[in-house]
Amino acid sequence: MKDAVFDDFIDRLRSESDIVSVVSDYVSLKKKGKNYWGCCPFHNEKTPSFSVNPDKGFFYCFGCQSGGNVFNFLMKVENNTFFEAVKLLAKKLNIPLPEKEKSPREQARDLELAKIYQVNELARDFFHACLTKTNYGKAAREYLANRGISDEMIDFFKLGFAPPPWDKLSLTFSERGIALDILLKSGLSAARTSGDGVYDRFRNRIMFPISDVRGRVVGFGGRVLDNSQPKYLNSPETEIFNKRHVLYGFEHAYKHIRDSSQVVIVEGYMDVITLYSQGIKNVVASLGTAFTSEQARNLIKLNAELLFSYDADAAGQNATVRALETVRSLGAAIKVVSVPDGKDPDEFIRKHGSEAFRDLIKSAQPLLDYQLERALKSDDYSTVQGKIAVVGKLAPILAEADNAVEVNAHITRLSQVLAVDESALRSEITKYILQAKKDKNVKSGKTVNIALLYKQPAPAVVQAERQLIRMMCDDLSLIPYVFAKISPQEVQGVLQQEIINFIFNAYNMEKNITQAAINAGVNSLSEKANSEFSHIMLMETQFDDVAKLVDDCIKTMQLAHLTVLYEQHRLMADELERMGDSGFLQELAESQRIKHEISKLHH
């Protein structure tokens, strides 16, 4: 369908839908004031903190900070894409979707994808039958039994066995009429390097079917029974399988992750199966590859705290560090479950039991604590050289952290542990920050956070930003006035800055901006900004003198922005002077200019 037709259709769905009616299919709501309240479907709670505003068409949970419009709700509660949410809402409203006539090429591709899904499902059943009903699977059954995997878990996860012959599956499926090109495109078969024909990619391996969140088989992982290499073999990249996007066990863990607001991330298939069988069902694995940002986003959508429990050996700990680096910038809540004795979760549970592992989960370390502990263990800091080495590793960690209060508390503690003067430790961190800011070769994305030097936005500033956004959305005629007075760069809150930038961009594109345009555009915001926007629109407000409050909010924001700039240039001037860099004079002059601007605003 054409974009314009689709946009009109979305607008129609939005205007004709009743968000209270849609949400009520999933949540028991009671009216209180202008809004409806209930227990949030996205996290466990006993006291209702989930609010729906029928007039503005937004929902927001004050407990887990989930929010958005009717489409966002359906996407989250059903774990759907935006288009799937549109189709579902259209079905609920009994509004037919605009028809788009598919080209022969598109029809052929849809048919091919359907065949690949089908052959994967047939392969899952083939491997499962080989494991459970034939002599081929005898050794594999014994291996799984020795690993504590019950017949019930074998059936639940549809574990299988790929028989040893070179082309057993390929021949069997060809005799069933399955085309060779589908076997090749599914990754189940591979072309022979010499001569015609194909051979089975998986042979003499325990098979782990890999499914997407909807339960469709998209690929396989295979493990050898002996010491041959590779120990694990995954399906190659196909039209339906991309390792960067898929998590093993996600289709089973999805509901448990959403209910608990936590997910345990492990390395291996066996770890998932063992934990699940012991009642720890909010568990997934990253397919034995590096944990990716795409996998992280699938979990962050569920407002889940990410608990990494990789193997305790050196390789597992290095994988943990790489995974943490991947997800840290995404704003996820992260902890690390440390498994003692150099074991993986599967081994630990078989030796110590599931309750012992639950205790490890309860004592999981926050990301910063884990990083600092690793740095302290890396060198003997009883010597001067050891202290220098440890401080050199601590400085980047603390400089890149994003909570000023937490960082300052750690600096105080570490100065005592290392027997190093606190000011000296801060000086080394500041030096790292200055060098990183100067270094033009710093890798993209490795920006340094200076939270320990500059305060986070004060609650009064955040409240001013929220009130300003709300007043602009309630009275669109205020937008050009605010646009002339303040720039998005003067907004301290990251989410508030994104929202104000969105409003200004919408105003620039359409001078006679409408409420419908605002509501339609919020889906372009990031998920967190969308939730924050919903929060703002659901705030209880009563403004007696809007004009005065707008000016007061702008003044509060400008003062906060200038104060941050002043501190930045003043601290940099101090550090450059200490380092003997004449550039401190320029920084000093700029700090004085900003101080004068602050004084003018005050008076």
Give the type of residue at 63: G
Rg (alpha carbons) of the chain, rounded to whole number: 29
Asked if residue 265 lies in contact with residue 323, where contact means CB atoms within 8 angstroms, the answer is yes
CA distances from 297 to 76, 300, 571 (A): 13, 5, 37
Residue 451 pLDDT greater than 60, yes or no = no
Q: How many CA atoms lie within 13 A of 446 on its CB side?
A: 12
Tell me how far the alpha carbon of residue 47 is from its chain's centroid: 26
State how far the Cα of 473 lies from the Cα of 487, in Å rounded to an integer: 17
Categorize the per-residue pLDDT at 436 as very low, low, confident or very high, splitting at 50, 70 and 90.
low
Categorize the per-residue pLDDT at 446 as very low, low, confident or very high, splitting at 50, 70 and 90.
very low
- CATH (one of 1.10.10.10, 3.40.50.920, 3.90.580.10, 3.10.20.600) for 3-93: 3.90.580.10
Report DSSP letters for 336-383, one per residue. E---STT--HHHHHHHH-HHHHHHHHHTPEEHHHHHHHHHHHSS-TTS
Interaxial angle between packed helices 367-377 and 404-418, expressed in degrees from 0 to 180 and rounded to the nearest 10? 20
Give the pLDDT confidence score for residue 333 in this predicted structure: 82
| pLDDT over 70 percentage in the chain | 91
Give the pLDDT confidence score for residue 262 in this predicted structure: 92
Q: Output the six-digit token pair for 491.
A: 């907004």
State how far the Cα of 145 lies from the Cα of 139, in Å rounded to an integer: 10
Asked if residue 502 lies in contact with residue 525, where contact means CB atoms within 8 angstroms, the answer is yes
Average pLDDT of span 413-437: 81
Residue 493's CB is within 10 A of a number of other CB atoms, namely 21
Give the pLDDT confidence score for residue 382 in this predicted structure: 86
- Specify the length of the chain in residues: 603
Q: Strands, DSSP E only, in 143-255?
A: 160-162, 189-191, 198-200, 205-211, 217-224, 232-234
Categorize the per-residue pLDDT at 468 as very low, low, confident or very high, splitting at 50, 70 and 90.
very high
Least confident interval from 41-45, 58-62, 107-111: 41-45
Residue 517 pLDDT greater than 80, yes or no = no
More confident residue, 371 or 249: 249
Give the pLDDT confidence score for residue 294 in this predicted structure: 87
More confident residue, 95 or 402: 95
Categorize the per-residue pLDDT at 443 as very low, low, confident or very high, splitting at 50, 70 and 90.
very low
Which are the contacts of 394, defined by CB distance < 8 A and separation ≥ 6? 372, 375, 414, 425, 429
Question: What pLDDT, in 10s, does the model give residues 503-515?
Answer: 888 888 765 666 6
State how far the Cα of 531 lies from the Cα of 544, in Å rounded to an integer: 27
Where in the chain are the domains?
A: 3-93, 104-234, 250-363, 371-438, 459-602
Q: What is the CATH number of domain 250-363?
A: 3.40.1360.10
Question: What pLDDT, in 10s, does the model give residues 131-182?
Answer: 999 999 999 999 999 999 999 999 999 999 999 999 999 999 999 999 999 9
User: Domain 459-602, what architecture?
Assistant: Orthogonal Bundle (1.10)
Question: What pLDDT, in 10s, does the model give residues 79-135?
Answer: 788 888 899 999 999 988 887 777 888 889 889 999 999 999 999 999 999 999 999
Class of domain 104-234 as given by CATH: alpha beta
pTM for this structure? 0.70
Average pLDDT of span 58-68: 89
Categorize the per-residue pLDDT at 334 as very low, low, confident or very high, splitting at 50, 70 and 90.
confident
Backbone angles phi, psi at 244, to 5 degrees: -70, -20
Residue bearing tokens 């050196």: 314
Give the pLDDT confidence score for residue 4 in this predicted structure: 65
More confident residue, 153 or 261: 153
Q: For the chain, give the mean pLDDT.
A: 85
Q: Which of 337, 293, 294 is nearest to 316 (CA)?
A: 337
Element housing 551 (H / E): helix 546-578
Give the pLDDT confidence score for residue 316 in this predicted structure: 64
Tell me how far the alpha carbon of residue 553 is from its chain's centroid: 32
Give the pLDDT confidence score for residue 444 in this predicted structure: 37
